Amino acid sequence: MAFYTIIGQPDCQLFAHAVYVAQYLSERMPNFKYRKILKSKLEWPDFVNDLNKKNKWFMVKSPIIWKEISGWGGKPYLLGGLSEFWDYCYCYYGFESWIAKKELEKLAHDNLTYFEENVYSMTHRTYNCLVTLMFDIDRLDFITYLIEELLQVSELAKGKGLFIHLYKEEYEVDDSNEFRELKSLEKYYNSLALYGNRPLVEIVRDDVASIRNSDVLIFSENFMRHANEDEEIWVKRCLIRIRDMADLINIYGKRELKVIFCNEGPICFMATCLIECCTVLNPANIVALTADKGLSIIEIVSRLTRVPVEKIGAPPVWGFIGFNQYVDETNIIFKANILKPYKRALTAPSNSTLPLGTILPELRSMSYLLPNQHSIIANEVLKRQKSIEEKLGRKPFQAKLRALKSLLKLWFADDHNTNENVISLGVCSDVLNHTGSNDIPPGLVFSQPCIRDQKHKWRPFSNSSTLISDELKPILKEMIDEAVTVVKGAGLSINLFPFPESASEQMLDLL
């Protein structure tokens, strides 16, 4: 499959004609995907200059058309202007197009009107980032704390500030205690007047309004398996909900929308469903929060190894979360203080007062401190979580809040030093960019160590294979096999990226 990009000026008739043809082909050919980018006359010279420098092209006039193989964000292959696009369409699709001059003028006028309205709405947007929280009313306590955490993420609140939409799929009657509590929450945060007279929180009842213009969608609806519920029915219930949400995103969602699954239930399965059903989003922008699964063992590891908690990093979390998981405590990185001895340390007398060396920090793995401790730690975590749930009457969510805050700070950070920021995350395996992706089938969302690339997309950590020990390999294979069985049993295809890198280059002759 080829993905086409058409860039032009909004009042350009040639650009309007190219977009018209691309829209016609996309409606009639399932494997034809395109996107259009409009640039004003003021933006055009600098934009085209940067584009030519980056790709070593020599394009000047509108439109500029190229294609990418297998997905957005790949290597661009220049087609050229409108004439070259016609030659391509005729040779490959046998398609010819002719439009009257008046119709072209009308199309160009419509493009210009849309562009001006879009620029106006962005210029007069009173907030920098719109975050939509999808939740169940019984998770209102989680939402309350989540709003507090979001306000502390400076990367989200910079510029014109933050705006939060609260959406519950089916609201209770307006006089219910739960809804009154929700209204009270809205009133409280808006009374803070953090951004002048503009509201900070708004309750939305329309599912379209919950998606439209959103920059970040945090999905926290409870999809835990009900007592005595068959697995097939449980999976189908999750699939139906995600398909409904995907339909809305396909119609009303922004292409740059970021979706985070941090709900209770099969989050990796639900993220996989959304990637298959939602065609407008880049799969790298759909993630499942899994780092919180590893935070719960840090205190126990600290007690067993006597390493202070503040010196311990988060452990890698593997698995198809919701069905299986494996927290690898042996690959926890911690900061140790080591003595670098001087030469005199070998010959110095026992009563010497001279310094024998220097103490320096060093990053080490926990593997030598925790031999064969996995089952003990896992049982201790399970026992502790049950005790906390009995006392609270609900699942604890502090670890989830901490992991979500860290994820957002990394995702929206301006720096490009991403190789140092490794986080466990459920992401779509992509064999085109990361060969094998730890043998996880392409298209499957699976929790693993990840990094953010230069384009602010989450990718599997390229060096994560070094974290897979011989003991972990069979466990990982078993978890992957179970995940594939669940996904195929639900009728989904996980082969979203069927061509390896070499095959993609061979497809150039055909495309």
Residue 34 pLDDT more than 80? Answer: yes
For residue 259, the model assigns a pLDDT of 96
Comparing CA positions, the residue from 64, 2, 78, 75 lying closest to residue 34 is: 2
Q: How far apart are CA 399 and CA 302, in angstroms?
A: 16
Q: Which residue has the tokens 């089916």?
A: 170
- At residue 241 the predicted structure's pLDDT band, cuts being 50, 70 and 90, is very high
The total of other beta-carbon atoms located within 10 Å of residue 446's CB is: 27
pLDDT tens sequence across 140-155: 888 889 999 998 888 8
pLDDT of residue 218: 95
What value does the mean pLDDT take over residues 265-280? Answer: 92
What are the residues whose beta carbons fall under 8 Å from the beta carbon of 195, sequence distance 6 or more? 126, 127, 160, 161, 162
Residue 436 has pLDDT above 80, yes or no: no
pLDDT at residue 353 greater than cutoff 90: no
Which residues in the chain are classed under CATH 3.90.110.10? 293-329+371-489
The amino acid present at 384, given as its one-letter code, is R
Quick one: pLDDT band at residue 414, thresholds 50, 70, 90?
confident
Is the model more confident about 225 or about 120? 225
Q: How far apart are CA 258 and CA 407, in angstroms?
A: 12
- The Cα–Cα gap between 134 and 148 comes to 16
The 10 Å Cβ neighbour count of residue 86 is 18
Q: Where in the chain is the domain with CATH 3.40.30?
A: 2-123
pLDDT at residue 384 in the model: 86
Please report where in the chains the tokens 């297998």 appear, as a residue: 70
Residue 258: the pLDDT is 94
Confidence class for position 403, pLDDT limits 50, 70, 90: very high
Predicted local distance difference test score (pLDDT) of residue 307: 86
| Gyration radius of the chain over CA positions | 26
Q: Is the pLDDT of residue 214 over 60?
A: yes
| Statement: residue 180 has pLDDT above 50 | yes
| CA–CA distance, 320 with 448 (Å, rounded to integer) | 10
Mean pLDDT, residues 297-314 taken together: 85
Judge whether 133 and 186 are in contact, CB under 8 Å. Answer: no
Q: Which of 292, 227, 228, 305 is closest to 261 using CA atoms?
A: 292
Rounded to the nearest 5°, which phi and psi values hold at 470? -65, -35
Looking only at the bridges linking them, the beta strands covering 129-135 and 162-167 are parallel
DSSP 34: E
pLDDT score at 458: 85
| Dist. CA 51–CA 166, nearest whole Å | 39
Q: Is residue 200 classed as helix, strand or coil in its secondary structure? A: coil
Q: What is the pLDDT of residue 97?
A: 65
Contact 441, 481 (CB under 8 A): no
Q: Given a cut of 80, is residue 139 above it in pLDDT?
A: no
The pLDDT value recorded for residue 511 is: 32
Report residue 260 as tokens. Answer: 């985070």
- The CA distance from 304 to 297, in Å, is 11
Q: Is residue 472 predicted with pLDDT exceeding 90?
A: no
Instruction: Supply the pLDDT for residue 338.
Output: 80
Distance of CA 191 to the CA centre of its chain: 32
pLDDT bucket at 242, cuts 50 / 70 / 90: very high
- The pTM (predicted TM-score) of the whole model is 0.71
Q: Over the chain, what is the mean pLDDT?
A: 81
Q: Read off the pLDDT of residues 363-393 as tens digits, 9 standing for 90 and up.
A: 777 878 888 888 888 888 888 888 888 888 7
DSSP 8-state secondary structure symbol assigned to residue 511: -
Q: Give the number of other CB atoms < 10 A from CB of residue 213.
A: 17
Please give the CATH topology (third level) of the domain spanning 2-123. Answer: Glutaredoxin (3.40.30)
The CATH number, out of the four listed (3.40.228.10, 3.30.365.10, 3.90.110.10, 3.90.226.10), of the domain defined by the range 293-329+371-489: 3.90.110.10
Q: Domain spanning 129-289: which CATH class is it, in words? A: alpha beta
Report which of 35, 36, 21 is spatially closest to residue 92, judged by C-alpha positions: 21
Q: Which amino acid is at 307?
A: V
CATH 3.40.50.720 spans which residues of the chain?
129-289
How much is the pLDDT for 62? 87
Please tell me the predicted confidence (pLDDT) of residue 106.
Answer: 73
Structure confidence at residue 494 (pLDDT): 64
Q: Residue 290 pLDDT more than 90?
A: yes
For residues 310-323, give the mean pLDDT.
89
Cα 101 to its chain centre, rounded Å, is 44
Pairing of strands 32-38, 2-8: parallel
- Do the Cβ atoms of 368 and 305 come closer than 8 Å? no
Instruction: Find the mean pLDDT for residues 34-51.
Output: 85
Across residues 179-200, what is the average pLDDT? 85
Question: What is the number of other CB atoms lying within 10 angstroms of the CB of residue 207?
Answer: 16
Query: What is residue 466's predicted lDDT score, i.e. its pLDDT?
Result: 67
**Amino acid letter, 17:** H
Report DSSP state, residue 319: B
What value does the mean pLDDT take over residues 147-164? 85
3-state secondary structure of 428: strand
CB–CB of 486/445 below 8 Å? no
Given this model, what pLDDT does residue 133 score? 93
- Diameter of the chain by CA atoms? 100
9 or 171, which is more confident: 9
Taking CA atoms, 215 is separated from 131, 289, 383, in Å, by 6, 17, 39
pLDDT at 309 over 80: yes
**What burial letters (b/e) apply to 137-168, b meaning 16+ CB within 10 Å?**
bebeebbeebbeebbebeebbeeebbbbbbbb
CB 18 within 8 A of CB 34: no
Alpha-carbon distances of 267 from 59, 447, 454, 460, rounded to whole Å: 45, 10, 26, 17
